[in-house]
Chains A and B, each alone.
Chain A
Amino acid sequence: MSDQKVNVVWLGSPTFPNAAHTALKDEQLRRNLKHATTTIRDKRLRAVAELEDWETLRLAGSRIKDRVMRHLDEYLLRLEASVTAAGGVVHWAADAAEANRIVIDLVRARGADEVVKIKSMATQEIGLNEALAEEGVTATETDLAELIVQLDDDRPSHILVPAIHRNRTEIRDIFRREMGKNGVPAPDGLTDEPRVLAEAARRHLREKFLRAKVAVSGANFACADTGTVGVVESEGNGRMCLTLPETLITVMGIEKVLPTFADLEVFLQLLPRSSTAERMNPYTSLWTGVTPGDGPREFHLILLDNGRTATLADRQGRSALHCIRCSACLNVCPVYERTGGRSYGSVYPGPIGAVLTPQLVGVGSSKHADSLPFASTLCGACYDACPVRIDIPEMLVHLRQKVVDAHRGDGFPKPEALAMKGARLVFGSPRRLAFAERLGAVGGRIIGIRGGRWLPGPAKKWTDARDVPVPARESFRTWWRRTGRG
């Protein structure tokens, strides 16, 4: 289906190094990120250390997800049957456009012109709010941080903490400026105290919760055996959306299915400790179809592909689909800490974004997405933090290979490709290497004369801030031979 459109990437985004160039200059952003990520990092370590069987849990999570991916077709059909049996309606969406169309038609058929939303990565991925707006339907984000981002007409920069790039003073200013334009205004004398800001958001949202006929959510999990769908959250806004409106529409990536209800035991331990560093998340909402007289009268579950089966087809890349959206990898990532989430130009930022985005849109499809697997030092902090043990560094390297291989036939190979081929030739024989080292030693003396400080061309990117090491006058192998050792 070549006409499928994947929306994960923000169109027109620059490549990662160019986006980072802008982000790195923002001192306020750097301070906000450093403060936020280091705080969450330490809390997570403490929360995880409390469980003796943490590593066993990670392994269990990894194995369950592995099984889901191997038998995804079966589990999805089982889920469809059990949701239908419980009174829900299941829809299948191949791509973003199809999923948006299904939501729009459902909203329209109910005569609604507004929906309340629970924080959801899947609906961001498909650009649902924008699609609804085009049809004259207002979607209100009810998660506090998503509301901040939405009011400011901004983009989220973190999976779990979408407004991580903002501090409280900035948030106060956004509330003062924007709330009145969208409903109940911020109270006079709004301060930047967290409690006061939360109260303003609560008042702003309350009338929308009470008025809305339709709610839209994502899903953290869906159990194939019972048809139970689950959302975990911290603020209670999700519970309001899931219980008050008459119609509930849930958009869920197909990889979120779990074989059985019992599997929740593993993920409800892994997720809160990894994401918010809590032993248990404050609100866990589980629902199975519809229950007369209790909660929504209609439940629609949209199962979204949008590049996922293509990702599944790559056995070395597919475990990116194991992700439970906890954000631990973002919080420990030294690159994310400096550049922030928006540099990744995708709703999925950080290390998981760097492996997920290029796969969802297809390697080789855009310069921007192809730059993401290279936005890592391969330091491995993400792999250690991942609750489902996704080997992100290894996957980054795998995707780098796919990017490189996609360009092997180019008429004008990049200087890097030529350098790599050259290096391969030099390293192909010890004699050629020894010769290159002697050349290097001569070159080194020239660099030495220039102080080892400023080099032209691509090397300038090194010498802009770092001295270059000067090749030794005598390589190790020459010394070994000269001293009669070998």
Chain B
Amino acid sequence: MRVALFIACYNDALFPDTGKAVTAVLERLGHTVEFPMAQTCCGQMHYNTGYRREADALVGAFNDAFRGYDAIVTPSGSCGGHVRHHHDTETAPDVYEFSEFLVDVLGVTDVGAYYPHRVTYHPTCHSLRMLRVGDKPLRLLRAVRGIDLVELPEAESCCGFGGTFAVKNSETSVAMLRDKMGNIGATKADTLCASDNSCLMHIGGGLGRIKSGIRTLHLAEILAGTR
């Protein structure tokens, strides 16, 4: 199976460690990952902000970049959701969010990871309600050695990021973030995990500002950890 990694543009520039972690996990499971250099951006931000014309202009290049692969794997629930639901994907392979790819395509939940920390998991809205990944990320986390996984109260409530919403409606966004941070704090976890760095960038930005000492980490980076 020829697997292509779709990193998502913000991960490429801001969170390269997530891409390295996805690569590490898949290689550990015996798969070869390719990174088509022609990839740029799926256009989600444009699309969701109302810039449909600009978004549509990126679809062709996306399809060209990933032509010929058997599957695309991405560490972004929201970009994965956008490609699956809004791209004209006639010529592109199926796209899978990372946890979907591991559980549904590869059929694994135990990836041999080790992460000796107290962790709580925030299911991001698009992975939950657009991709319907369900408890797949949690099944993967439960199999991690040494992990102390604690349930996040009101887990399925949006964190308030919402792409450009975070700036356009910054005060409402921050009010939602405060409630989310309160719930995270109540778990006494030292690590907040999610399947999307965009939401984590927002929550982590808030947690950093209040000097909470809580670390935000993408699911792939926890699954990449070994003893």
Which of A373, A383, A459, A466 makes the CB contact (< 8 A) with B206?
A466
> Complex formed: what's the CA distance from A471 to B175 in Å?
26
Check B49 against A400 for contact (C-beta < 8 Å): yes
Choose among B35, B130, B163, B201 the residue that contacts A380 (Cβ–Cβ < 8 A): B130
In the complex formed, the residue of B with least CB distance to A403 is B50
Q: Considering only CB atoms, which chain A residue lies closest to B65 in the complex?
A: A430
Query: Given A374-B169, A430-B37, A437 and B208 touching (CB < 8 A)?
Result: no
Contact, CB under 8 Å: B13 / A475: yes
Known contacts A424-B57, A471-B13: A476-B7 contact under CB 8 Å: yes
| Chain B residues bordering chain A, tally (CB within 8 A) | 65
Indicate if the CB atoms of A466 and B209 lie closer than 8 Å.
Answer: yes
CB contacts under 8 Å to A, within B136-165, are 156-158, 160-165
B202 at the binding interface (Cβ < 8 Å): yes
B208 (CB) vs chain A CBs: closest residue: A467
Point out the residues of chain A lying under 8 angstroms from B3, CB to CB.
none
Chain A residue at minimum C-beta to C-beta distance from B162: A377
Q: How far is B57's CA from A403's CA once the two chains are assembled, in angstroms?
A: 19
Of B43, B51, B61, most A-chain CB atoms within 10 Å: B51
Question: In the complex, which of the residues A338, A376, A401 contacts B165, with contact meaning CB atoms closer than 8 Å?
Answer: A376
Q: Cβ of A477 < 8 Å from any Cβ of B?
A: yes
With both chains docked as a complex, state the minimum distance between the C-beta of A331 and any C-beta of chain B, in angstroms: 13
- A334 contacts B by Cβ under 8 Å: yes
- B115 within 8 A of partner (CB): no
Structural contact, A469 and B16, CB atoms closer than 8 A = no
Q: In the complex the two chains form, is B162's CB within 8 Å of A379's CB?
A: yes
Contact A468 B58 (CB under 8 A): no
Q: Which of B70-94 contact A (CB under 8 A)?
A: none
CB distance from A108 to the nearest CB of B (A): 45
**Any A CB within 8 A of the CB of B125:** yes
**Interchain CB contact under 8 A, A462 and B170:** yes
For B49, list chain A residues within 8 Å (CB). 400, 404, 416, 420
The interface residues of chain A lying within 8 Å CB-to-CB of B171 are 17, 20-21, 24
Task: Contacts A334-B158, A430-B37, A471-B14 given; indicate if A465 touches B174 (C-beta within 8 A).
Answer: yes
Contact indicator B13/A472 (Cβ below 8 Å): yes
In the assembled complex, the Cα of A465 lies from the Cα of B167 at a distance in Å of 11
Chain B residues with Cβ below 8 Å from A423 are: 41, 45-46, 54
Residues 434-486 of A contacting B (Cβ, < 8 Å):
436-437, 440-441, 452-453, 458-459, 461-462, 464-472, 474-477, 479-481, 485-486
Counting CB contacts under 8 A, is B135 at the interface?
Answer: no
Taking the nearest CB of chain B, how far is it from the CB of A393, in angstroms?
Answer: 8
Q: Within residues 87 to 136 of chain B, which ones have a CB less than 8 A from any CB in chain A?
A: 125-126, 128-130
Closest 9 CB pairs of A and B: A377-B162, A466-B205, A400-B50, A380-B129, A404-B50, A379-B158, A476-B16, A427-B41, A379-B125
A–B complex contacts, Cβ < 8 Å, 29 sampled: A17-B170, A17-B172, A374-B168, A374-B169, A375-B169, A378-B125, A380-B128, A380-B130, A400-B48, A404-B49, A405-B50, A405-B53, A416-B164, A420-B45, A426-B40, A427-B40, A428-B57, A430-B38, A433-B9, A440-B13, A467-B209, A469-B205, A475-B16, A476-B35, A477-B37, A479-B20, A481-B37, A485-B35, A486-B34
In the complex, besides A20-B171, A24-B171, A423-B41, 7 extra interface pairs with C-beta distance below 8 angstroms are: A339-B172, A374-B50, A376-B162, A404-B50, A462-B205, A466-B177, A472-B13
